[in-house]
Amino acid sequence: MPKQSPSAQLKSTRQWVHDYAARLLEHGEEVRQSAIRELIAAEHGITASPNLVADEIKKFWAKAGPTLSARLRRPGIPDDVSESFDNIWDVALNAAVAGHEAERFQLQQQVDLALASAVTARANEEAAIDRFFGQTREIEGLRSDKASLIEQLQAKDAERKNLTSRLKETSDNAAAQQAVQLRLQGLIDRLQDQLTDLRTSSQRELTALAESHQNELVKTQDFLMRETARVRDEERTKTEKLSKELERERNEKDQLRQLRSKASDETSQLRGRLEATDRSLEKLEQQNTQLSEQIDKLQTALFESVRTQVARDQKKQTALTPPINT
């Protein structure tokens, strides 16, 4: 904060005394030296001189006294008009608050439903992923079984080759070993047939199982893609709808603020008109009888103007407030 010269600071302090005295008077409080000094110290960090504050309070009363006397002598706004205006304003404000509360509740319900749908979709997706990994582990187990069967086939083939080698070694023996050779040949043929059948059936089962799991995998992937796209589209639609609803609610709040500001401006204008009427009353006291008739006419016109303006504001409020869906 830039440092002020003593004369500028003294001038500011005098002005502050007048400003704070007017503020206290406007709030219906007593204009006291101690209260004004406390306000100056709290808001500006300056300790004002008691003598200076007392002198400026006297100047303030000298300036504001005639105005306050004239204000006390002027007629006030009729109580019926003030009460009617307050009642109409309370009804409009309560209706707007109730409408916004109902819309906020509906939007909250929609958000809760959207979150519940997202959680359900997430759970379904995780369950599908678990099934996919389970099928993958099952396929790995089948591959392991296939490798084990291949090892068994290789062992059987090695055994067959061993038997064939032994058969060749025993083929040089005498006719006494012919029966043994025939039995061995029959055993080899049976083993060969069993090995061939086992190899064929195992290959066929493995092929069918692989195709089945491949089809299930493709179906699972398609289902996950479709479900993910559907949930994403639903969430995008709900999010856009909620954004539009929130934007509309903000616009309605801005319109309510504008209406309130307009009502304050019109009240200020009415106060200005009443002050002008008070000045006219002071100048025309000798024409009291005629002025009384003019005041009655002016009050009647003012009442009609306020009632017309309130009715117009109520119509605008009704048009701006959206209907509440039950």
> Using CA atoms, how far apart are residues 243 and 261, in angstroms rounded to an integer?
27
Q: What is the structure's pLDDT at 1?
A: 46
The residue to which tokens 């000094």 are assigned: 37
In this prediction, residue 247 carries a pLDDT of 87
Closest CA to 252 of 97, 111, 105: 97
Kindly report the average pLDDT of the chain as a whole number.
Answer: 79
User: pTM of this prediction?
Assistant: 0.25
Do 84 and 233 touch, CB atoms closer than 8 A?
no
Residue 57 pLDDT grade (very low, low, confident, very high; cuts 50, 70, 90): very high
Percentage of the chain beyond pLDDT 90 is: 9
> How high is the pLDDT of residue 2?
46
Domain ranges in the chain? 1-73, 74-320
pLDDT at site 100: 72
Residue 42: which pLDDT band, with cuts at 50, 70 and 90? very high
Q: What is the mean pLDDT of residues 31-50?
A: 90
Q: Which CATH number fits domain 74-320: 1.10.10, 1.10.287, 2.70.98, 2.30.320?
A: 1.10.287
C-alpha dist (Å) from residue 289 to 282, 286, 295, 300, 301:
14, 8, 10, 17, 19
Tell me whether residue 275 is exposed, middle or buried, using C-beta atoms within 10 angstroms of its C-beta: 0 to 12, 13 to 18, 19 or more.
middle
For the cut 90, the answer to whether the pLDDT of residue 37 exceeds it is yes
Q: Which distant-in-sequence residues (6+ apart) come within 8 Å of 30 by Cβ?
A: 24
- State the pLDDT at residue 294: 75
Residue type, 260: R
Phi, psi (degrees; rounded to nearest 5) at 133: -65, -35
Phi and psi (nearest 5°) for 322? -70, 155
Which whole number is the average pLDDT over 70-82? 62
64-68, 111-115, 244-248: segment of lowest average pLDDT = 64-68
17 CB neighbour count, 10 Å cutoff:
25
- The whole-number average pLDDT for the span 268-295 is 75
Give the whole-angstrom CA distance, residue 72 versus residue 161: 130
28: left (phi over 0), alpha (psi -120 to 50) or beta: left
Residue 56: CB atoms within 10 Å: 22
What is the C-alpha separation between 278 and 271, in angstroms, rounded? 11
Q: Is the pLDDT of residue 64 over 90?
A: no
Whether residue 231 contacts residue 118, with contact meaning beta carbons closer than 8 Å, is answered with yes
